[in-house]
Structure 1
Amino acid sequence: MYCDYHTHTPLCLHASGTPQEYVQAAVRAGLREYGISDHAPMPGEPFDDWRMKQADMPAYLDWLTEARECAALHGLTVRSALECDWFPGIEPWIEHLQGLHAWDYLIGSVHYLGEKEEFDNPHRMDFWHRTDVEDAWEQYWERFRNMAASGMFHIMGHADLIKKFGFRPSGDLRRYYEPSLEAMRETGACLELNTAGWHNKCGEQYPDGQFLKMAAEAGIPLTISSDAHRPEDVGRDFKRAGELARQAGFRHLASFQGGRMKLFPLPGI
């Protein structure tokens, strides 16, 4: 049985469904734990149009409560979390978010480069029309490495999201991967195998097979997540992801409760 720790709610303005529908989907998927991790608010609102606002936090906590009440009827465990965006100098804001609730875990993600350049928004493809791919990759991985080195997050979200639209530099990509993996190893951060990439233009899970194998060799813990924005996406492609994780060398997956990580055998091992 798997845990799906990366899922969203309609409060982020680009997801749909009710707590009950997500719980029912998690039960149908045979999950052991369903984690709710919507896009966290950012300072300087309005920041963008695809995340919760600061004023939405009470509604988010109510959403979590409704999900737990429904899940209790099915014997399903619900975990509470946030997906937080990483920017240089964002540490005080992350500390603020940490203090808002007794989260089970926090996901750290990189969706922006430069001051505020979205690289993964299909409605803002102008970024890629005026950007050097290698420069974008260098910026992304420097930011990802710094996020991992901060030690502020339990899970590193969709590593190599920078490839979402299929743009990759030439040559050996290990030059980007190795520093981030070393930072994760030093801080004990967990890597996410995110199945949403199979349904984007890149046609590949996040992160790629080489990164996964390097992570397994480095002893970095792993979780498998769907990045669900609809109930029907919960637990999507987990059997396929589990086999990929096994082939990469993983034998366990990570679970989280109250900020503490525990390992359980990868299903099928």
Structure 2
Amino acid sequence: MKFDLHTHHFRCGHAEGSIRDYIEAAIKGGLGVIGISDHSPYFASEEDQFKPGIAMAKSEFPSYIQDVLALREEYAGKIEVLLGVESDFFPEHKELYRAVYQKYPFDYIIGSVHMVKGVGIFERSRWDNLQKEEDIIREKEEYFTLIQQSAKSRMFDILGHIDALRGYFPQLSEYHTPVVDQTLKVIADCSGVIEINTSGKGKDCGGWYPSDEMLERACFYGVKVSFGSDSHVPSRVGDEWENVRTKLKEIGFKQWYFFRRRQPVRVRL
């Protein structure tokens, strides 16, 4: 069973194509399951669309849900379409986000940390003033502490791109801290699932999130895994799925998971 749970579309402001385009690409690519998981609006903002180039407007969210559900019915028998969302994790607003999501029949929710101390994780300039090793490690620890909090919140079925902070700072992996292993233990204790996200190939770090080294540690601690291409163009749906599957088997994983009606579905590797 080939699946991809992390895809976007035009509503977020930085992806191309319609939801239908991603479903058609999934069928063409031989997938049995396609999840639609566009970026959540900034629900805590007073503005309808706080950052138009990053996330959809709050007023668009109900129509997003309706479109996915309608396409699920239309494509029944051809491919299974799952309703998801990639949610930002803001600890101070988690109950607001939780309340919003409870209104809708999601199959799964991806929880992703995109901001640390008010700065985007893919903002290159965040590293400009961090020259000392202790400062870089502190930044890394701030990020992984937020990952821990997102796991403990139990709001999410999948944790998204858990080491993406290294996207434009590849050498971050060389700055070691016990917080990384602590985070993996927390995720395992919370029965969390992390995605192998193949969009890292488009950043300076190359490859996937998380790194092979971190995946090996995740396997050691018993963390469960899923797959997401993080496609922002339809042509990337299912990107490197078979390569990821092979690597996971080499590491020692026996299965991975997708979600249906917020329940894990096990797929043998």
TM-score, L = length of structure 2: 0.91
Matches of 1:31 and 1:174, distance apart in 2: 38
With 165-174 and 135-144 compared, the bigger mean Cα shift is at 165-174
Matches of 1:175 and 1:64, distance apart in 2: 41
Matches of 1:7 and 1:34, distance apart in 2: 8
2:15 aligned with 1:11, yes or no? no
Which residue of 44, 48, 72 maps to 1:68?
A: 72
Q: Classify the secondary structure of the residue corresponding to 1:193.
A: strand
Matches of 1:102 and 1:9, distance apart in 2: 20
Q: Tell me the residue number matched to 2:84.
A: 81
2:122 aligned with 1:120, yes or no? yes
Q: Tell me the residue number matched to 2:22.
A: 22
Q: Tell me the residue number matched to 1:56.
A: 60
Q: Give 1:130 shift.
A: 2.5
Is the Cα–Cα contact under 8 Å of residues 198 and 230 in structure 2 kept in the other structure?
yes
Report the aligned-residue RMSD: 1.7
Q: Once the two structures are aligned, what percentage of the paired residues are identical? A: 29
Q: 1:130 to 1:119 in 2, by over 3 A?
A: farther
Is the Cα–Cα contact under 8 Å of residues 19 and 66 in structure 1 kept in the other structure?
no
**Mapping of residues 1-269 of structure 1, within 5 Å:** 1-42=1-42, 43-44=44-45, 45=47, 46-49=49-52, 50-72=54-76, 75-114=78-117, 116-121=118-123, 125-131=124-130, 132-169=135-172, 173=176, 175-266=178-269
User: Could you list the runs of 5+ residues in structure 1 that have no partner in the other structure?
Assistant: none
Is the Cα–Cα contact under 8 Å of residues 15 and 229 in structure 1 kept in the other structure?
yes
Matches of 2:167 and 2:178, distance apart in 1: 19
Q: Give 1:186 shift.
A: 1.3
Is the Cα–Cα contact under 8 Å of residues 137 and 177 in structure 2 kept in the other structure?
no
Residues matched between the structures, number:
261
Matches of 2:173 and 2:208, distance apart in 1: 19
Q: Classify the secondary structure of the residue corresponding to 1:90.
A: helix
Matches of 2:174 and 2:204, distance apart in 1: 21
The residue type paired with residue 264 of structure 1 is V
User: Could you list the runs of 5+ residues in structure 2 that have no partner in the other structure?
Assistant: none
Residue deviations 1:16-37 (CA, integer Å, cap 9, x gap): 1123221111012211210011
Matches of 1:154 and 1:265, distance apart in 2: 19
Q: Give 1:191 shift.
A: 1.0
Residue deviations 1:146-203 (CA, integer Å, cap 9, x gap): 1112111110100100000134347563623211111111111111000111222101
Q: Classify the secondary structure of the residue corresponding to 1:227.
A: coil
Q: Classify the secondary structure of the residue corresponding to 1:89.
A: helix
Is the Cα–Cα contact under 8 Å of residues 120 and 162 in structure 1 kept in the other structure?
yes
Matches of 2:110 and 2:59, distance apart in 1: 21
